[in-house]
Structure 1
Amino acid sequence: MPTVPIPARKAATTFDTPSSRERLEVKPAFTRVIRRTLTGTFGIWSRLSALAVRHLGWYPRVEPYVGYGTSDYSRLICRTVYAPENARPGEVSRGIRGMLTVPAPRTHVQASIDDMPLNTIQIGDSEVYDKVDRTRDLSSEYAVSDSAGYLDLVAEHRLEPGIHRVSYSVKRRKPVSANLYTIPASAKVGIISDVDDTIMITQAPVLWKAAYNLLFLNPKKKASVPGMSVLFTRIADLFPGAPFFYLSTSPWNVESSIRNFITDHGFPEGPLLLRDLDPRPKTFVPSGPQHKLEFAEQLMADFPDMKFILVGDDGQKDPTTYATISHRYPGRVLAIAIRQLSPKESSGLASVAGLTSTQPMPVTDVPVFTGTTGSNILKTMLPYLKEHVV
């Protein structure tokens, strides 16, 4: 194994570095009380559930998530959770099992990329704002997961473009690994796609149906939106080497289910960027649009020379979110594709009340292509993209 470690640091996420408007101390007193009450309740549940599973003989393991990076640095994400001795990470199961996962907070994790170890720098932990703790600001052979078990690292190391392997290990467990997609600087086009009702039918606007599909439906029975895998494959053929980023408001708890869906239904492989649903006092739980907007902005910053194709649906707030992105980053969005939900998919309490549960198309200078299936979008979008091959 190489002896020169890769320098790494914790990622500056929204939870770690809230803006001046997001900090808990500037919120109204009632908001501060409610947030502290809910986060305190979650903390109590975490501690009690951890005591219970440790009594059963469970101990921490790592759930590795697919990472991505540039030629200069890589984004690595994993989570430490409690599990029985014979449990296997990444095992596909119904969402309810994933949602009941017990986090293993502040667990020491050793990580490596292609067998080269990471040398990490730990930072402090504060309810109001993360400040550097000088007593821990030292290089270390391990990183420590946060209070909900998440570990989000930026590894500063030059890698050749392509797929690499990231390995994580904790005490008493065999190392586990996940892919790391290193995006070449030559890639001029990237695709950011929503998951729910864009590539996978979940009926997100109908709350009870979305909950059933997320929590109880057999992952192998989840249906793909007709024609979307063909659309994505044609885009991949048109832009060889273009990275696909899958952005979803689903929690990391169901990552393995979505990952296997992407593979089973023939969609191009790529990083999944999901949401942490564990409440934190500083920024609490980000809304779906906030989560998508922040990750899209992160990708814009990570790949400043890349133009993006944004793919979503009108069942949530993708049209508004994508319009915001195109306005904030003029010239960076090549096209927007919005899949229109059928009346059956979008019907719910809103339609009963005489309201619409879908959003109008985004108002933007960027071309917007719509359709109820991938095939509908393909007919109008592909000719336009062929004219704008970079």
Structure 2
Amino acid sequence: MAKAALARVLYPVERWLDRLRPKRRTDNLVIDPYLGYATASEIILRGRVLTALRRTNPSPEGSWWTNLRQMLSLFLTREVADICVTAGGTEARTDEEGYFDLHLPREDAAAGWVSVPVTVEDGESRELEALVPPHDPPFAVISDIDDTVLQTGAYSLLRNLWTSLTGNALTRHIFPDAVALVRGFEAAGAPVFFVSSSPWNLHFFLRRIFERHHMPKAPMFLRDLGLSRTQFISGTHGDHKGGSIDVLLAALPETPFVLVGDTGQHDPQVYLDAAKRHPGRITRVILREPGKGAGAKDKAAMKALEAIDVRVESARDFSKISPVG
């Protein structure tokens, strides 16, 4: 209800501001690159066309006010709709928020990371990367980010906002036990994917944090901060995460999945719903218990997962959890 009320107030304001802006530039357009992924038959390249890239210049000694201004600047993007983006003989057009997906034939692409040159109409050419999983991985992993691998405090709205807006890429911290667990998944031959309710504007920001902590590179499924007449920020946390899980299970239809999350934002229920939608596909759920730990609803969802033969492991940290079970 609060999000709907915000939408009713902010949507007309956004439309009014759009009318005040100068006409969109169609020269020197740039691509904000996102890490893509592959199915058995396709390589899917992802990105967003903007008039300029927004990047921060963080400092370990940066004040909270400097960090806040730099973080807010990441959201002041000018996206460009209905622009043609091409890779080889494949093309796509950007949607109203500037996003695009390019679906290329996988053909004989070897497992691992592939890099493909992508050109935007009246703009730059940029290499976009995609993870091509092996045809028969032992399992695949979908992991949450906030409070699962990245210290955030998402279980508390005020703490989440303060941490997210006043830190920077050099001060935010990854849980070392999460790095060890994900590296273990990678060593076992499992493709890893990250899902978060963070907006796509933070894709590069999150990649910088992950790289600094030596977290393996992996495709991210983030959320559009779209504003409509009735909705402020697209969908709910559960809807976004559940939809991303559905996409990835469809991409690897013969592969069992391990879901990693935390009890701070009701991941157990989201994962239970996904397991019910995809019987037998989710074999294991691993959960961090931040803050006060699992509540009654989370515990009930965890028991319900076990009742349908999903192995559930939960702890304050992942230090004693084996990546291969």
> Which TM-score band applies after superposition, normalised by the shorter structure?
0.7 to 0.9
Of 303, 312, 323, the match for 1:368? 312
- Is the 2:38–2:106 contact (alpha carbons within 8 Å) kept by the matching residues of 1? no
Identify the range of structure 1 (288-297 vs 64-73) with the bigger mean alpha-carbon deviation: 64-73
1:230 counterpart residue number: 180
Aligned-pair distance for 1:295?
0.8
Rounded to whole Å, the distance in 2 between the matches of 1:59 and 1:43 is 25
- Between 1:306-315 and 1:265-274, the stretch displaced more is 265-274
Once residues 319 and 36 of structure 1 are traced to their aligned partners in structure 2, the CA distance between those partners, rounded to angstroms, is 32
| Alpha-carbon contact 2:8-2:230 (below 8 Å) kept | no
Structure 1 equivalent of residue 112 of structure 2: 162
Map of 1:81 onto structure 2: 50
Inter-partner Cα distance in structure 2 for 1:192 and 1:235: 11
The 5 Å alignment of 1:133-152 reads: 143-152=92-101
* CA distance in structure 1 between the partners assigned to 2:131 and 2:137 by the alignment: 13
Larger radius of gyration: 1
Distance 1:170 1:235 in 2: 35
Q: Which residue of 1 aligns with 2:210?
A: 262
2:250: which partner in 1?
A: 301
Letter in 2 for 1:232: V
Figure out how many residues of one structure are paired with residues of the other and give that number: 305
1:215 and 2:159 aligned: no
- Of 178-187 and 332-341, the range deviating more from structure 2: 178-187
In the TM superposition, 1:261-280 aligns within 5 A as 261-280=209-228
Cα distance change on mapping 1:216 and 1:35 into 2, 3 Å: closer
Match of residue 194 from structure 2: 246
CA distance in 1, matches of 2:139, 2:37: 15
* Root-mean-square deviation (Å): 3.1
* Structure 2 counterparts to residues 66-145 of structure 1, below 5 A: 66-83=35-52, 94-110=70-86, 112=87, 117-120=88-91, 143-145=92-94
Amino acid at match of 2:80: A
In structure 1, the gaps of 5 or more residues are: 1-30, 121-142, 347-355
User: Is 1:245–1:270's contact at 8 Å kept on the other side of the alignment?
Assistant: yes
> Is the contact between residue 202 and residue 213 of structure 1 (CA under 8 Å) also seen in structure 2?
yes
d(CA) in 2 for partners of 1:281 and 1:152?
25
State the Cα deviation string for residues 289-345 of structure 1 (Å, max 9, x = none). Answer: 1000011011111111100110000110211001111222222112100100034xx
Deviation at 1:107, TM superposition (A): 2.6
Report % sequence identity.
26
Deviations 1:95-154 (A, max 9, x none): 3221222222223323x2xxxx1333xxxxxxxxxxxxxxxxxxxxxx321111111233
Letter in 2 for 1:101: T
- Opposite residue 222 of structure 2, the aligned amino acid is L
Once residues 35 and 257 of structure 1 are traced to their aligned partners in structure 2, the CA distance between those partners, rounded to angstroms, is 26
Amino acid at match of 2:149: I
Cα deviation code 1:339-390 (max 9, x no counterpart): 00034xx8xxxxxxxxx699435221311111111214x1xx45xx35xxxx
- Structure 1 counterpart of 2:273, from 300, 324, 343: 324
Question: Any gaps of 5 or more consecutive residues in structure 2?
Answer: 59-69
- In structure 2, C-alpha distance between the alignment counterparts of 1:71 and 1:171, rounded to whole Å: 29
| CA separation of 1:157 and 1:224: change in aligned 2, threshold 3 A | closer
Shift of 1:286: 1.0
Does structure 1 retain, via aligned residues, the 8 Å contact 2:260–2:286? yes
Secondary structure in structure 1 of the residue aligned to 2:183: helix
